[in-house]
Structure 1
Amino acid sequence: MSTRVDSYLSAQETNFNEIPVIDLSTLIDGTDIESVAKKIGEVCENIGFLYIVNHGVNEQLMEKVKNYTEIFFDLPLEEKQKLNIERSGETLRGYIPMFGENVDPNHTQDFKECFDYGQHEDKVSPFFGPNLMPESIEGFKQVMEEYHSEMLALANKLIGAISLSLGLPFDYFYKLQKKPISIQRLLHYPPQTGEISREKIGIGEHTDYGFLTILSQDEVGGLQVKNRDGNWISAPPMPGSFIVNIGDLVQTYTNNKYISTYHRVINTSGKERYSYPFFMDMDFDAVVEPVPTCVSDLEQSSYSPYKCGEHKFRRFVDSYAHLQIEKSA
């Protein structure tokens, strides 16, 4: 079947020069944190998306995550539905079926399915609690928990670098991340054919709700990023890399110095697409407001203070079908 994509969804095909590549080796080993932090700051100010290489995450572990992800999404729908996010209550983890989340609900239905998990806790509270794990896939739980731990460690290094780039101590944000909201997501985007319009694509255009996103993607491609000129460009897969982007919280903390960037996914490859974004936020009750180095007598704060968890939950209500049903009940 032929594929015809609406002109609104077109994007400029780019090479890796359009989205910068930053080598993290001296950040990871601690030999030259400042120069890496400066580069990250420049990208956050001018683009908001970057590739990172030499990030220290075990490649064999990443390969296991990819294999388990494909196995999970290949389960019968009735098996996946046993782990539906609706069963997790306030924890908001588990399986999200097709159209269960729509991040641009006024324009787009998201043609994707997801699985979300985080750090296990027995007590249930908003964004925290036990994970819903597939018992039928041996080893899945152990591998995914190990991967979450590695991503959390990498996120902490990157957040420290962002702090330095703002003229703040490396550990400035750590006091607001003693028990941070963190979600590891597994994503499956089926291929689309025929007439493709904005009304239904892999994931609609959106900014990320939190502080930082670290994305691993397979070789299929389909990610598009809106640059500072308002043009959509492709973010092609780069072997051995992660794509990093900042979210709404960073835009607030920096008083619009660093801008959260719009992005979307359209899978016209004819293949199944998988990706693995890790979302790092602050503590639920952490106050989000511009940091001292981003306000002055000449540049006042553009934001009133708000709490991280309340902001994130509002965005979830806007995006999740089952939360909208609960709200209207």
Structure 2
Amino acid sequence: MNATTLPILDLARYFNPAERDDFLQQLRVSARDIGFFYLINHGIEENLQRAVQQEARRFFALSDDQKQQVAMIHSPHFRGYNRAASEITRGKPDWREQFDIGAERPELSLAQDDPRWRRLQGPNQWPDQQPALKETLLLWQKSMTEMALVLLRAFAEALRLPADAFDALYGEMPNEHIKLIRYPGQQDGAQGVGAHKDSGFLSFLLQDQQRGLQVEVAPDRWIDAAPLPGSFVVNIGELLELATNGYLRATVHRVVSPPLGEDRLSIAFFLGAQLDAVVPVYALPEALAREALGPESDPHNPLLRDVGWNYLKGRLRSHPDVAERYYRDVLRERTEQLIV
């Protein structure tokens, strides 16, 4: 609560038997007390990181007409490009343009009684003018998933659970989500992205040199997560907080727009469970269980243990235009439930 900067965790220590226990202790304390940390020596090649950033810059440099060809409004799977002020956080537009991709999988057929979150699976959209973008991002996605699953096993051990405790939630089809984000400069330093918690399990952020990310370490007390070369900023999502009954902490964070005339490039990777998974509350050892605070849930946006419905709920709130085009049946059902 009194932190002035994020802790730095070295993943290489996890693979060193002499340092493993100290690393797990640091991981548990960092994730419980702050819910955010820098991760270094994570194993993602520097050349691949640079290639991802270069391709992101090239994408955002395309003309608006070219980017609109892969606009999210064309995708029932919530994949594609959004102009600044298109995504909504806590009822306000975020001043960022972005490009979302997920796992490259075929669209699922949908029977009358199937849950509507099955529409979330499907192919990505890719700009014809930039063929290298697909290859680069899918390679990065694969590398990030492998690394993130290693870190999740470390979390299980840090919580004194079996190392494979979370494996069943992920299986062969984890929910992999990449978001390329460009924050244009604003004179008044307005909302780049509003204060929020991430909804999944683990989030990883690759930053450029521009500041902007802030973490709420205590009520109304924010610290900067300044760029640290060679690192990811890692944070806990709400479903991991839920799975540990609030022992681990999903922390509110925001991004302040850069000054006018500058911009900020961030590349986020979100690891979530399979869409058909149901998140249990894991039985922690008694000493840890006593310290669990219970998960915090926004009464206006409550957490659901059903992963597919929880993810779809968040997408519908963030992208009302896509929701209106492809999910009118879900919106109608929600309206009817409210009336009843």
Tell me which interval the TM-score lies in, with the shorter structure as reference length. Answer: 0.7 to 0.9
Larger displacement relative to structure 2 (46-55 or 18-27):
18-27
Partner SS, residue 285 of structure 1: coil
Shift of 1:97: 1.9
- Residue in 2 aligned with 1:48? 35
Shift of 1:57: 0.5
Match of 2:74 among 49, 69, 87: 87
Give the conservation status (yes or no) of the 8 Å contact 2:157–2:163: yes
- Residue in 1 aligned with 2:278? 287
- Residue in 2 aligned with 1:271? 262
Q: For the residues of structure 1 that align with 2:66 and 2:16, how far apart are their CA atoms?
A: 43
Match of 1:36 among 4, 7, 23: 23
Change (3 A) 1:185 1:244: same
Shift of 1:37: 2.3
Larger displacement relative to structure 2 (221-230 or 180-189):
221-230
Match of 1:162 among 129, 138, 155: 155
Q: Deviations over 1:277-300 (max 9, x none)?
A: 100011112112321117899799
Q: Deviations over 1:174-228 (max 9, x none)?
A: 11101111101110100111x44xxx51100000010000110000111111003
Give the conservation status (yes or no) of the 8 Å contact 1:257–1:294: no
Change (3 A) 1:294 1:211: farther
- Residue in 2 aligned with 1:315? 314
Give the conservation status (yes or no) of the 8 Å contact 1:211–1:248: yes
Shift of 1:273: 0.6
Q: Deviations over 1:31-86 (max 9, x none)?
A: 75443222111101100000011111000111011111011011111111111112
Alignment-mate amino acid for residue 259 of structure 1 = R
Q: For the residues of structure 1 that align with 2:38 and 2:253, how far apart are their CA atoms?
A: 15
Change (3 A) 1:165 1:126: farther
Give the conservation status (yes or no) of the 8 Å contact 2:12–2:42: yes
Q: For the residues of structure 1 that align with 2:101 and 2:158, how far apart are their CA atoms?
A: 30
TM norm structure 1? 0.86
Partner SS, residue 289 of structure 1: coil
Identity %: 30
Partner SS, residue 292 of structure 1: coil
Match of 1:256 among 230, 237, 246: 246
Q: For the residues of structure 2 that align with 1:31 and 1:73, how far apart are their CA atoms?
A: 45
Q: Deviations over 1:100-129 (max 9, x none)?
A: 211221xx3200011111221123443321
Q: For the residues of structure 1 that align with 2:141 and 2:240, how far apart are their CA atoms?
A: 22
Q: For the residues of structure 2 that align with 1:192 and 1:120, how far apart are their CA atoms?
A: 35
Cα RMSD after superposing both structures: 2.5
- Residue in 1 aligned with 2:65? 78
Match of 2:11 among 17, 20, 24: 24
Which aligned pairs between 1:33-182 and structure 2 lie closer than 5 A?
33-89=20-76, 91-105=77-91, 108-124=92-108, 125-178=118-171, 179-182=173-176
Shift of 1:17: 6.0
How many residues align? The count is 308
Alignment-mate amino acid for residue 165 of structure 1 = A
Unaligned runs of 5+ in 2: 109-117, 296-302, 333-340
Partner SS, residue 170 of structure 1: coil
Give the conservation status (yes or no) of the 8 Å contact 1:163–1:171: yes
Alignment-mate amino acid for residue 82 of structure 1 = Q
Give the conservation status (yes or no) of the 8 Å contact 2:72–2:78: yes
Q: For the residues of structure 1 that align with 2:198 and 2:216, how far apart are their CA atoms?
A: 13
Partner SS, residue 166 of structure 2: helix
Change (3 A) 1:32 1:169: farther
Change (3 A) 1:72 1:203: same
Give the conservation status (yes or no) of the 8 Å contact 1:34–1:161: no
Unaligned runs of 5+ in 1: 1-13
Larger displacement relative to structure 2 (30-39 or 143-152):
30-39
Match of 2:180 among 163, 167, 186: 186
Match of 1:233 among 223, 242, 245: 223
